Structure 1
Amino acid sequence: MPRDRRPVWAELLGTLDEKFVANAVVFEHATPCAGLLLRGEPLRTETGALDRELVLRALAHGLARAPELRRRLRPAPFGLTTPAWVPDDDIDLEAHVRFHVGVVATDGPELPVLLAGRLNPPLDPRRPLWNTVVAELDDGRVAIAWRIQHAVGDGLYGMRLLDALTEADDAGAAGDAGVAGGAGAAGDAAADGPGSRAAAPSTSGASTSGASTSGASTTGTSATGTSATGTSRSTPTVPPLEPGPHRPPRSGAELLRVAWLAWWRRQEGPRGAWHEYWRKPFLRRLRRWGGRLVRPVRNHVLVVRGLTESLVPQRRYAFATHDLPPVARRARELGGSVHDLTVALALVALDQVLPDPAGPRLGVPISRRAARGDRRNHVRMTVVGIPPGTTLAEAVPLVHAAVATAVEAIEPSPSRVAEPGEPSRPAATILTTAGLAHASPAPTIPALGPTKSATNSPTLSPGHSAPGSPAPGQPGSASPTRDAPPHPAAPHPAAPHPAPDAPTRRRGYASFVPWRPRARSLGPALVGSAVLWPVLDPRDDLAVFGSSYADTFSLAVVGSRHVDVDAVQRAFAELVLGTADDVVAAVALPAPPGAGPGVRHDPGDQPGRRPDRQPHHQGGGTP
């Protein structure tokens, strides 16, 4: 066999990112997910069945543009360093993709659980840390739940990977040719062009909504390879992916050598390397080394005793998809951005479902990539609170001021001069935690292409802002045509800070990130709508995550078992859109003329209706 002449490549896992793989419980829990709803007709055969081979080829075509998804974690010898990302030339696409057995009802409790990734099988630590479940919906669409492990990256980083998997809709012809040509085709990520198709306005004016139920779902895989959630291994045969430009280290010794050379090149000579090494206490390094040594034994015990499932509390899931323009218009009316509106709504809803005498408090993730460049996970969590009983109109300017102050504290602007009479602190409570977000920060990621929009984090990547988007370090928002202009002054209600001994525990977090302002496709299928799901820390009660795609706004809510996630959706519809009744009503999609019982149809076949505008009712569940 000829010797592999490719250059070796390895990337050490960040020390703080190692917490996401600290044990089997955290490993399986810290998994951000993106739920995509695709137009189903282009993914079907002439008989109307789902073309599984075409779906696999479309995913393989995207993987060729996302080398991060073709790398796995390899432990260092004797745990001397953190695990390292190394190329995986033997990636088995069919091991990462499952096809859901049966058809999922759009008005049932299974859909939000599916889109949140809770029906995905457990991640295999020996493979690249992502997997996908593909399911058919009863209205003809196809749902894809794409889940990654948080060690791969936060929301901003993950959205860049999602950009690589999909293509601008105006590049459909080129994308179809690549998919038809087989897997492994290389190419650059398509950028949004001026001719991209945007989502058409809704003809019905109704917002799609989510509601939870008490139904339960379980995850796991059986000995036969069929998931307990009703997913099965794909049967089509897809050509293997072409090897990447780099090879993995041949041995543990070579892995340590590559890692040491990469670390040394980042230092400023021997003196800088000495100071960098001793910057962290030696005892802390010793404890981390010991933790790596006992990690396999600890994980084995957790699995044998079944603690990987019992230690993670059950959650409830709900989501709603609305037209973006009314949401952006409401944000402008209240003097804030869509991000400010999302966080403020979450705080007001939290005050209703879980009253606290000290007032509701939620974390707001803020990207810090301006300081360290494009890191996989680089988010600081700022805790924002409002007084009890604050209205949405009062909360929006408070949230805007609080987050702006927190951003200013992280990266102060030397050119900023305080206005005469400006208060030193906003009326809202600001509690900034030191360091990165704990166990489960929001999913986040800078997108590819000239617009450089971002997802799952309230900030865009510094230096990569879309036209009209906020400055680096500021909370992210949609483009200025759909979001808030410079924030006008707004009266602040009296909001005294709590006493020093008042409880300051946050109950979860909230954020908003725009994805692409123009439509995208996965292979030949248009992405009708996208729902980005937060990762809720086991100690928290509520996570609210808003995201925009094309002309849609999606609100995903994850709550503990005793939290009414429906109430959050109803609060949004009532306070933002003034349509609370639409949230709890199931709207059936009428069949096209001539369609008899059992005939599947695609909503895109109806004149004037886009697949992302199909009214439906999403139920929640407790997996």
Structure 2
Amino acid sequence: MSPEPKRIHAEFMKTWEEGYVSTRIAYETMHTPCFFLVRGEQLRDEDGRLDRTRIDDFLRATAASAPVFRLRLQRSFLGLTPPAWVPDDDFDLARHVIYADAPVDLATADIRRLAGDDGTLLSIDHPLWRMRVTELTDGDVAIGCVLHHAALDGQSMMKVMTMLTTKAADDDPVGPDDPFAGTRAARATELPVLAAARWWRALPDRAPRAAVRSYLSKPLMKRARRVAGRLLLPLRFDAGGEAARAAALPPRVSAYTRVDYARARQHARDLGGTLSDLLAAAAIGAWDGAKRRVTLRFPVMVTAESGPKARNSVRDISVQADADAPLADRVLAVHEQIAARDETDAPAPSDDAIGFTTVIPWVSRPRYFAGSEVREVIPFPASLGSDELAAVGVIYNGAMTVGANMPARSDIAATLDRIAAQLMPLDDGERP
């Protein structure tokens, strides 16, 4: 008896998401690193050495058992459709997990390297993620994770963090499991056929004349340019070579700070805004550049729950305020600009934005990695090479950790100190 044929699996990218993988510079820019600080006791064997088998088994039951960690990009035949996410039939956990050679001191370590950013690109032929496990000299362990914005936005990245952890130290993950057992990756030649079939099924009126009207409702020249762009992608992906990359992605530094979440949230409310408004206003006030009317990009959600499925459900809008204005005025200005925007039709962000800020909630109670408590989550934004200041705050277990990127010439520590000071209310007796 012949085996049952495997089902074909493909999840098409949205056309606007293709920009994240359209050139080497765009592809590298959208690498998004973060790391957990995890208590190290439970991650060691009887001899006190890092228990790699325990960690690998845990990742096999969590990351390797989650669909998002098993999908790779598949380009379509002749560029007729957007790329699709398909199961990696050659998935190997060892390809995605790196162990550092020796313990490092957190105070002096390269924190982007701790977060998994070692200067190399994620292989586009396999799932777009990488983890780095590093012992720290104080006994803790850093669990770094680089994800890619083409696959996830900030909110869905937090769901991934939940997949990588458990609610309690003694919880056992459901896996290991192959989420794509009984399925296979769609081939490049199959993607146009799949796309056409899904388009036909989605038509409200499945009649030839209605189908023609629906197809012609979008400009044919725009479709042709997209197809041509996909066909030429191998030629233009590395356009300009290393010189173009160096010009577009100058050296940058990253750092982070941590504040009490409840106090920061109440401070934002007292000022008439949200915590996201407050972080944006604080970043504007922390800016020490010559330009004092400061513009930031600000991500907003644009896809309703009932809307079409998309891995990235945010668009950037622009907000601006006077860096020298009182904090309350800046918070109110940011809040009013965000409230006034039609999120479903948000205009493109201003070209003169110095960067962006965003706040992403995770969970309010401790999470555990392979039985060890996650003490802190340190995020870093996927900032553009032209950004002067980009910051992202993640709320976890009563604290908000703000990670930032700035050009290497900047005093990032001083900038983060100014941001943190504005996130907290003034103490009694302290002058405004």
TM-score, normalization by structure 2: 0.90
- Counterpart of 1:224 in structure 2 is none
After TM superposition, list the pairs within 5 Å mapping 1:204-603 onto structure 2: 243-249=180-186, 251-269=187-205, 270=207, 273-299=211-237, 308=245, 311-350=248-287, 353-357=288-292, 359-370=293-304, 372-406=307-341, 409-410=342-343, 432-434=346-348, 505-577=352-424
Answer yes or no: is the 8 Å Cα contact 1:315–1:561 preserved in 2. yes
Answer yes or no: is the 8 Å Cα contact 2:380–2:392 preserved in 1. yes
Question: In the aligned structure 2, how far is the partner of 1:144 from the partner of 1:335?
Answer: 37
Answer yes or no: is the 8 Å Cα contact 2:98–2:133 preserved in 1. yes
Q: 1:433 to 1:345 in 2, by over 3 A?
A: same
Q: 1:381 to 1:86 in 2, by over 3 A?
A: same
- Counterpart of 1:11 in structure 2 is 11
Percent identity, aligned pairs only, is 30
- Counterpart of 2:51 in structure 1 is 51
Question: In the aligned structure 2, how far is the partner of 1:538 from the partner of 1:280?
Answer: 33
Asked whether 1:173 is paired with 2:174, we answer no
Question: In the aligned structure 2, how far is the partner of 1:572 from the partner of 1:388?
Answer: 12
Question: In the aligned structure 1, how far is the partner of 2:303 from the partner of 2:92?
Answer: 33
2:184 is paired with a residue whose SS is coil
1:347-387 deviation digits (Å, cap 9, x = unpaired): 1112xx22315x01101100112173441112121211112
* Structure 2, unpaired ranges of 5+: 428-432
Shift of 1:302: 5.7
Q: 1:3 to 1:314 in 2, by over 3 A?
A: farther
Answer yes or no: is the 8 Å Cα contact 2:303–2:344 preserved in 1. no
Shift of 1:539: 2.4
1:128 is paired with a residue whose SS is coil
- Counterpart of 2:60 in structure 1 is 60
1:335 is paired with a residue whose SS is coil
Answer yes or no: is the 8 Å Cα contact 1:65–1:165 preserved in 2. no
Answer yes or no: is the 8 Å Cα contact 1:24–1:302 preserved in 2. no
Q: What residue identity is the alignment partner of 2:317?
A: T
Q: What residue identity is the alignment partner of 1:257?
A: V
1:495-554 deviation digits (Å, cap 9, x = unpaired): xxxxxxxx9721111111111111111221221111222111122211111111011110
Shift of 1:2: 5.9
Structure with bigger helix share is: 2
Answer yes or no: is the 8 Å Cα contact 2:60–2:93 preserved in 1. yes
- Counterpart of 1:132 in structure 2 is 131
Answer yes or no: is the 8 Å Cα contact 2:38–2:374 preserved in 1. yes
Q: 1:130 to 1:332 in 2, by over 3 A?
A: same
Q: What residue identity is the alignment partner of 1:76?
A: S
Question: In the aligned structure 2, how far is the partner of 1:560 from the partner of 1:274?
Answer: 51
2:317 is paired with a residue whose SS is strand
Question: In the aligned structure 2, how far is the partner of 1:326 from the partner of 1:175?
Answer: 34
- Counterpart of 1:185 in structure 2 is 176
Answer yes or no: is the 8 Å Cα contact 2:115–2:132 preserved in 1. no
* Structure 1, unpaired ranges of 5+: 179-183, 187-240, 413-431, 438-502, 581-623
Instruction: Tell me the number of residue pairs that the alignment of Structure 1 and Structure 2 aligns.
Output: 424
2:328 is paired with a residue whose SS is helix
Question: In the aligned structure 1, how far is the partner of 2:254 from the partner of 2:89?
Answer: 36
1:76-116 deviation digits (Å, cap 9, x = unpaired): 112221111111232110001111222221111512x2345
Shift of 1:157: 2.1
